[in-house]
Structure 1
Amino acid sequence: MALLHRAEIRPTKLELLGGWLPYRSWFAGPRDAGLSRVAAARFDDPAGAVGIEVLLVRAGDGPVLHVPLTYRGAPLAGAGAFLVGTTEHGVLGTRWVYDAAGDPVFAAVLAEVIRTGGAQAIEKLVEDDRVVVREPSLLLRGSGGPGTGAAGPGRAGGIEVTDGDPTVIGTRSGSLHLVRTPSAPHTGSGAVLTGRWSGVDTPVVLARLAG
């Protein structure tokens, strides 16, 4: 379960990404166009310490871009190259926002979701004195099944990232390939994470797990 707070965030995630995303090697779309949110969903960090969001955005009329992010209450040691920036959250205070490719918690959670056939987290939004369930705009699914495969990569260290499309996250137990411009439908083969969002009826591959 992902517990979210309705609060002001400055700068917003899209504003933060607007100063970072156009300079990635895999960026596609007009560089001077503003970013729009296409869809998003959350994963659970079992330890409850790190926010994990799978975010799809678009620059102008460019293609959909896959930009997973992690949110932390303190800097992640050794991950300065993956820092997108910081935001001020009206409830949680300063949040350090990272390209999730460089966050070992994301690597561990993503591998586990793919191996076990997991899905996005249930999102519960705190509004005043109420807690309401929010429907995700992005439906995620791993291709595996419950109890499938060996343990994923550890929570700290042990990853090596190669930028590009796909972005490759090397771990001690295999590699994760993040598709940055997702468009290929899932053919039913391989260990993958797929997503569906408004206007997309056939699940599209967002990430692959290679042993």
Structure 2
Amino acid sequence: MAMIYKTTMKPGKTELLTAWLPTRPWYASTGHAPELDRSGGFRLDDPEGEVGIEFMVLTDHSGGRETSYLVPLTYRGAPLDGAGAALVGTSEHGVLGTRWIYDGAHDPVLVGQLLALLQGRAVAQDQCDSGVSDPSVTPWFAGPELPADLPRGRPDVTDTARGTDVRLPGAPVLTLTRVLRPGDSGPQDTTAAAGGLTAGWTTLDGAAYRGVFVELHTAGDAAF
């Protein structure tokens, strides 16, 4: 179980992401610097207890409009080999010291645990409290079954105008919905995806939304 410390981070995550988000191809620029509020999310546990895994929802209020983004992050006590381009920044944690913060789509630990969540081998955890599950996060999986242990190399990641595709060994693709759409409950034809998850977020004005965070697509009859 991951321990969530009630402490400081300098610079804070929102501060780092204010600079990082506008560099992403899926960020909808308003012509102003982002004005970010934390709107929701959840965590996953690393079975080895080394990597912090968080799925954040951030809502940008700049320019008089409101857009919510899914930002998965990993927190590491040392740099991830070969992932310099995925580094969001470093921060000084009040208990753990220097943390290297990465775009989690590029981190094999996050990808492995996300697949475990979709297949029922992991449970979504509350974003703020240790040892508390988050039943509002709803995964589903229709198969075919994926291996429990994927290769530990860095995933093949492609950012698009709306999301991020993570290509896995054997041809399945995890698609992260970066620009969240309220009310999007996933494909009506369940053959269009092999799995996915929906979750909710709440904006600063108290409006509650729900939508698709992740979909898993497979290629033909590829064996995994």
* TM-score, reference length from structure 1: 0.85
1:160 aligns with 2:156: yes
Aligned partners of 2:149, 2:165: CA distance in 1, in Å?
A: 14
Q: Flag as ranges the 4+ runs of structure 1 deviating above 3 A.
A: 122-125, 132-136, 198-201
Aligned partners of 2:111, 2:140: CA distance in 1, in Å?
A: 16
- In structure 1, the residue matched to 2:111 is 107
- In structure 2, the residue matched to 1:77 is 81
Aligned partner letter, 2:137: L
Contact 1:192 1:209 in 2 (8 A): yes
1:205 aligns with 2:212: yes
SS at match of 1:96: strand
- Deviation at 1:161? 0.6
Aligned partners of 2:152, 2:131: CA distance in 1, in Å?
A: 31
- Deviation at 1:116? 2.2
Aligned partners of 1:144, 1:33: CA distance in 2, in Å?
A: 35
The alignment of Structure 1 onto Structure 2 pairs a total of residues equal to: 202
CA RMSD of aligned residues (A): 2.5
- 1:141-187 per-position Cα deviation (integer Å, ceiling 9, x unaligned): 21138x98221562520521111222111110421111111212235
- Deviation at 1:21? 0.6
Match of 2:169 among 167, 172, 185: 172
SS at match of 1:116: coil
- Deviation at 1:111? 1.3
- Deviation at 1:119? 3.7
| Range with bigger deviation, 55-64 or 23-32 | 23-32
1:149 aligns with 2:129: no
- In structure 1, the residue matched to 2:137 is 140
Q: If each structure's strand is expressed as a fraction of its own residues, which one has the higher value? A: 1
For 1:13-162, list aligned pairs within 5 A: 13-30=13-30, 31-60=32-61, 61-116=65-120, 118-122=122-126, 125=129, 139-144=136-141, 149-152=145-148, 154=150, 156-157=152-153, 159-162=155-158
Structure 1 unpaired stretches of 5+:
126-131
- Between the aligned residues of both structures, percent identity stands at 36
Aligned partners of 1:39, 1:59: CA distance in 2, in Å?
A: 13
| Range with bigger deviation, 150-159 or 166-175 | 150-159
- Deviation at 1:26? 0.5
Aligned partners of 1:50, 1:159: CA distance in 2, in Å?
A: 16
SS at match of 1:105: helix
Structure 2 unpaired stretches of 5+:
219-224
Contact 2:43 2:53 in 1 (8 A): yes
Distance change in 2, residues 1:24/1:155 (3 Å):
same
* TM-score, reference length from structure 2: 0.80
